[in-house]
Amino acid sequence: MTTHLHTWCLAATLSSMDFTKFGFIRVAAIAPGVVLANPKKNASLLCNIYDDARQRDASIIVTPELSLTGYSCEDLFHTSDLLESTRIALKTISRHTQQNILIVGAPWQLTDGRLLNCAFVCTNGKIVGAVPKTAHPNYGEFYEQRWFSSGGDVVVQIADRELGSFPLARDQLFAVPNSHGDEIFFGIEICEDLWSPRSPSSEHAIAGATIIINPSASTELIAKADYRRELVKMQSAKTLSAYIYAGSGSSESTKDVVYGGHLLAAENGVLQAQSERFTLSTSSIFCDIDIAKLRHERLINTTFNQLPRTMNYVTTPTSESVPINAINKEYSMRPFVPRQSEELVDRASEILAIQTTGLARRMASIDCSQLVIGLSGGLDSTLALLVCLETADRLNLPLTAIYAITMPGPGTTEHTLETVRALAETTKIPLQEIPIHAAVEQHLEDLEHTGEPDITFENTQARERTQLLFDTANMRKGLVVGTGDLSELALGWCTFNADHMSNYNVNVSVPKTLISYLVQWYADHKASETLKKVLIRVLETPITPELIPTKTGQISQVTEDIIGPYELHDFFLYHMIRTGASVEKIFILAGLAFADKFSSEEIKKWLGVFIQRFYQQQFKRTTLPPGPKVGTVSLSPRGDWRMPDEVNVSTLLDAVSNISTD
C-alpha cells in the first residue's frame, strides 16, 4: 500500500469523525480592533467576528476585557450615555448569537450604584450569565478603582426588561453539554485576577472548571509578554486546566501605554497557541482542547482531589458544543522525544544525570565498586554502558570498575559481536567473552529438548546469560546493571527471570524511541570521535534479540517484524498511560500522527498486539527490579503502575476489533 493511499484511507476514516466524542472542544480567542466608547460599532464588529469564528466550529469565542466599549475609556465609564449605549449593544450582540458561545466584556451598574467590570456569556440569543472582575489594579499605569468596584462578593440575579434574567456572580461555572452525553464546565476571571495572589481561577478549577477564560487588557512593557506567557502556562498547570487568555489590541488608546493584543491558549502547562502582538487589525487564535486528557490528569492527581470544595458555586447552563470534524492539533509520532533540538539537548543531559545519580546511590548503599553489564551490541545495553561510564567518572572510579561481558550464542551475528568489541576497545573497559553454545546445548539436552528454535530454545539463552552475569557479580562483589527499556516492559518483550532481572536497571523508564536519541546525543556531544563511530554503528543496527540461529551470518530476527514498530507502541503507551485515552481514541490520534507512514489497518493491527501484550505481560512488571524514574510515564509496580496480573483483556480487544478502518 502506498503512502498516498495510507493518507487517503486515514483521511476518509477521520473525515466523518466528531472529535467531541473523545472530549475535545474548540475555543477561539480574538482581539478585535475596537472603536473607543462606541458600543454600537463594536457590537457590529463583534457580530462579524462571531460569525467568522462560528464558521470555524468554535464552541466558545472569547473577546478581551471591556471589548464592547474599549478598555481605555477612563472617565467616560461614568457617563450615562456610554452605559446606556452599552446596554443596547449588549442586547444587539446577545440576540445575534446562536449555538456558539460568545464572551464579551462590558461595564454593568448594580442597583446599589456600584459599577462592575464584567464578562457576559451569550448564546442562543440571550445572556445566560455574567462574571464580575475581582481584582482591580490601582498602581503604575492602572487606575481601575477610580471607576470600578470589586465584584468578588457579588451574587445577584439580574432581571432586566431588555436583556432578560441571568446570574451575575464570580463563583459561577458555565456548563457546556455535547451530543455524546458529556458536559464541560468553564469559569471566568478577568485580567488582574490572574496576577492576584488569590486567583479566582484556582477556585473555579477546584469546583470543576476544566477551562478558564480570561478576557484581559494588559499593557505591553519590555519582557512583560514573557512573564504573562509563563503565568498563563503555570496557572493552567496548577489548576490542571486549559487557560484561554484574550488581551486587548492596539486599537486601545496609546496616550500613555500600548496594548499588544496578546492571545494565549495553554493546556496543563503546555502552550497550545499564541498570537503575534502589535498587529493593527483583528487577530485570533483557535485551539482544540482535550478535556478528557485534563480529566485524566485530575483523576490521578490526589493533591488536586483532596482539596476542600467550595459549595456556593452557581452552575449556569449554556448551549451544546459544536461538532468538530477536523482537529486543529498536532500529535508527535514520538511523544517521549522533545520536538526542539535545544530542548532535546537539555533533556538528554538531565536523563543521564538521573540515571547516573540513581546508580551511584545504589552502589553506595551496598558498598559496591564494581558494575557488571552484559553487552549485546544493541541500543539498550549501549546506553546502559554509557550510564556506567558516566557513573564511574562521577565517583572517580577507574574504568576497570566496569566489567563488561558478552555472551555470543546460537543467534549472535559477527556484526553485533564486532560492535561489542569496538565499544570495549574505544571506552577502554575490560571485556570478557563467554560463548554460551555449549551451556545452552547441555541445558537443552538435560531437558530432553529437540533443539528446535522454539520459546524454550530462546529463553534458555536469555537465562544462561543472566545466570553468568549474576554469578560474575557475586565473584567480583559487583552489581548487575539492567539494560531493558520501558517499551520492552510494556510489551513484555523480555524473558521472565532472565533479561527481565538485574540488581538495578538504569533504562527501566526510558522508552525505545527515546533511547536512540539519547545515544545519538551522546555521540554528538560527549563521545570521542572513535566512540562516536561505534555509537553510529549501534544506531544503524536493526533491533534484534538474536536468539534464533542464522543461516547467512546476517541479522535475521528483527524485533519490529515480530511485535510491530516501536514508534507505534511507544505512541500507544504514552497515550494510554499519560493521557488515559481509550483504545478508540488512541487509534484516532495515531491516525493523525502517522497518516503518512502507516495505514489504518496497520495501526489497528499493532494496537491490538500492544493491548494484548500489555495486559497479559503484567506479571513481569509486578516483579520488576528497582531502577530510576526519568519521565512521567513509568511502569514500576512500587510507584506508578499497579495492576493485577490476572486481568481479562477480551473487552479491550473487542473494542479494538470494533474499530472501523473504512
Please check whether residues 36 and 183 belong to one and the same domain.
Answer: yes
Please check whether residues 350 and 298 belong to one and the same domain.
Answer: no
Three-state SS letters, 512-543:
HHHHHHHHHHHHHHCCCHHHHHHHHHHHCCCC
Specify the 3-state DSSP secondary structure of 318. Answer: coil
Specify the 3-state DSSP secondary structure of 90. Answer: helix
Query: pLDDT, tens digit, for every residue of 279-299?
Result: 998 999 999 999 999 999 999
Please check whether residues 275 and 367 belong to one and the same domain.
Answer: no
Per-residue confidence at 5, pLDDT binned at 50, 70, 90?
very low
- Domain hosting residue 451, numbered range: 341-564
In a domain, 128, yes or no: yes
What percentage of the chain has pLDDT greater than the value 70? Answer: 96
Q: For residue 373, which of 397, 412, 407 has the smallest C-alpha distance?
A: 407
Res. 546: pLDDT tops 80: no
Average pLDDT of the residues in 570-579 = 98
Res. 350: pLDDT tops 80: yes
Tell me the pTM: 0.92
Residue 553: predicted pLDDT: 58
Res. 152: pLDDT tops 70: yes
Per-residue confidence at 11, pLDDT binned at 50, 70, 90?
low
Res. 532: pLDDT tops 70: yes
The last residue of a domain, from among 564, 583, 615: 564
Res. 250: pLDDT tops 80: yes
CATH code at 151? 3.60.110.10
CB atoms within 10 A of CB 1: 11
What angle, 0 to 180 degrees and rounded to 10, lies between the N-to-C axes of helices 650-657 and 583-593? 40
Please check whether residues 370 and 267 belong to one and the same domain.
Answer: no
Average pLDDT of the residues in 462-477 = 96
Query: pLDDT, tens digit, for every residue of 432-443?
Result: 999 999 999 999
Average pLDDT, the chain: 94
Residue 556: predicted pLDDT: 56
Please check whether residues 48 and 194 belong to one and the same domain.
Answer: yes
Is the Cβ–Cβ distance between 545 and 453 less than 8 Å? no
In a domain, 653, yes or no: no
The H or E element that residue 405 is part of is strand 402-406
Res. 208: pLDDT tops 70: yes
Please check whether residues 291 and 349 belong to one and the same domain.
Answer: no
Residue 146: predicted pLDDT: 96
Cα gap 357→372, rounded to integer Å: 17
Is the Cβ–Cβ distance between 77 and 147 less than 8 Å? yes
What's the number of domains the chain is made of?
Answer: 2
Please check whether residues 394 and 516 belong to one and the same domain.
Answer: yes
In a domain, 635, yes or no: no
Q: For residue 508, which of 494, 529, 522 has the smallest C-alpha distance?
A: 494
CATH code at 506? 3.40.50.620
Q: Any idea what the Cα angle at residue 648 is, between residues 639 and 576, rounded to 5°?
A: 50
Please check whether residues 218 and 174 belong to one and the same domain.
Answer: yes
The last residue of a domain, from among 531, 564, 597: 564
Per-residue confidence at 101, pLDDT binned at 50, 70, 90?
very high
Specify the 3-state DSSP secondary structure of 28. Answer: strand
Which residues are the active-site residues? 65, 133, 191
Q: Which of 19-28, 543-552, 582-591 has the lowest mean pLDDT?
A: 543-552
Q: Can you say whether the dihedral through the CA atoms of 560, 562, 568, 572 is positive or negative?
A: negative
Res. 272: pLDDT tops 70: yes
Res. 596: pLDDT tops 60: yes
The last residue of a domain, from among 564, 591, 610: 564
Please check whether residues 534 and 489 belong to one and the same domain.
Answer: yes
Residue burial 451-468, b: 16+ Cβ < 10 Å; e: rest: eeeeeebbbbbbbbbbbb
Residue 15: predicted pLDDT: 58
Query: pLDDT, tens digit, for every residue of 37-54?
Result: 999 999 999 999 999 999
Provide the grid cell at 216: 484581559
CB contact set of 423 (below 8 Å; sequence gap of 6+): 375, 377, 382, 385, 404, 531, 534, 538
In a domain, 427, yes or no: yes
Please check whether residues 301 and 401 belong to one and the same domain.
Answer: no
Residue 226: predicted pLDDT: 96
What percentage of the chain has pLDDT greater than the value 90? Answer: 87
Is the Cβ–Cβ distance between 90 and 38 less than 8 Å? no
Please check whether residues 142 and 288 belong to one and the same domain.
Answer: yes
Please check whether residues 292 and 411 belong to one and the same domain.
Answer: no
Cα gap 499→261, rounded to integer Å: 57
Average pLDDT of the residues in 213-240 = 97
